[in-house]
Amino acid sequence: MSEATPFQRRVWDTTRQIPWGQTRSYWWVAVRAGDPYAARAVGGAMSANPFPLVVPCHRVLRQDGRLGGFGGGLPLKRRLLEIEGAWPPVAEREEDLVDSLMR
């Protein structure tokens, strides 16, 4: 993990805060990591995640609610989310994010 970029570290720290049984979008993680235009870079950080169960990248989905990528394969990502009761996901509302950022 010492070779991680500062952005990757912020992404992983943000992702670790996603509670069990909940999902967030790549965009949500990008905003919380300090760059709302970096949703694709969040995906890159997820693929470089050295600790997939400590940093639960399986909880990060595409903005449209689809699975997106996962190093262990999409069937495993879906299964992990099913175990947590987070699949199918509840739609994320942008207004909720804006409200939480304003607090």
Q: Which residues are catalytic?
A: 57
Give the C-alpha separation, 50 to 89, whole Å: 25
CB neighbourhood size of 74 (10 A): 13
Provide the β-strand partners of residue 66: none
DSSP 24: E
